[in-house]
Amino acid sequence: MEQENVKEIIGRCIFVALGSFNPAILHPEWLSRHKILPEEEIVGLFAEPLKKEIPELGAVIELGQNFLVSPTQTTLHLKSFILNVTREKFEIHCEKRDRFPLMIDSIKKIFLLLSETPIKAYGLNFDEHIKFDKTLSEIAANFFTETDNIKKVFGDDSLVGHKIITKVGEATLTFNFEPSPVMDDGVFLKFNFHYDNDAPDTKFIVDKISINLEQAITFTENLLTSFCGNMIERKGKIR
């Protein structure tokens, strides 16, 4: 299903790892000390809290630093993405396609250092609100009517309904499709590429995440180009 001149469609990626994590380790000072990210990504976290006066109320609001670190949760609003870690989940939201390489590089560095972290699985998720030159009904018919074209792309054992579940390389792909609640005549597309881990460590992430992301993006954009037509508009940052 390789396509020539496929336009970049995917603009955001959510990385999620499931396992057992220690959120308190991932302090901005730890990221800086181990050079996980360029300093410009982290420096804003160390800024002094800002004070904003509201004259009409006679009040002053103090805006705190842009991070939270505790034994149960760490949330860092970095320049290029948001890192959120709990005891069970490690999650990065990246809203800029050109920052995907930085996201992947930081994931590799973190899990090389924390190599004994027990991880059960991870996912690469693309959530997009997009308007195409095909109508919602036309796209729905392309995806959710059992045709030879569907079987050719997804395989004879694929399950077709309001979602499609199939294998793509080493991943189990779950694809959801529905009308967009934030874009007139748009569609909401949700792709989850799920990778299970047989060993209780991080090696499978460090070794394969770069190629897995590349393959996931290629598959997704080829698929959307084939079934949805040309992208007219893509909803920007939604978080």
Give me the chain's average pLDDT, please: 86
Which class for 224: exposed (0-12), middle (13-18), buried (19 or more C-beta within 10 A)? Answer: buried
Report pTM. 0.83
Nearest to 7 by CA among 227, 226, 151, 221: 221
Of residues 22 and 151, more confidently modeled: 22
Helix axes 136-144, 203-228, angle to 10 degrees: 120
Crossing angle, helix 203-228 and helix 100-113, to 10 degrees?
Answer: 160
Please check the confidence at residue 132 and state whether its pLDDT lies above 50: yes
Name the residue with higher pLDDT: 147 or 174. 174
More confident: 182 or 122: 122
Write down the pLDDT at residue 136: 79
For position 3, what pLDDT does the model report?
Answer: 43
Whole-number pLDDT of residue 141: 80
Q: Is the pLDDT of residue 17 over 50?
A: yes
Dihedral sign (CA 218, 109, 120, 14): negative
Whole-number percent of the chain with pLDDT over 90: 59
For the cut 50, the answer to whether the pLDDT of residue 6 exceeds it is no
Mean pLDDT throughout 192-213?
93
* CA gap 10, 191 in Å, rounded: 10
Q: What does the pLDDT read at residue 68?
A: 87
- Please compute the mean of the pLDDT values over residues 89-110 and round it to a whole number: 97
Q: If pLDDT is split at 50, 70 and 90, which confidence band does 61 have?
A: low
**CA R_g for the chain:** 20
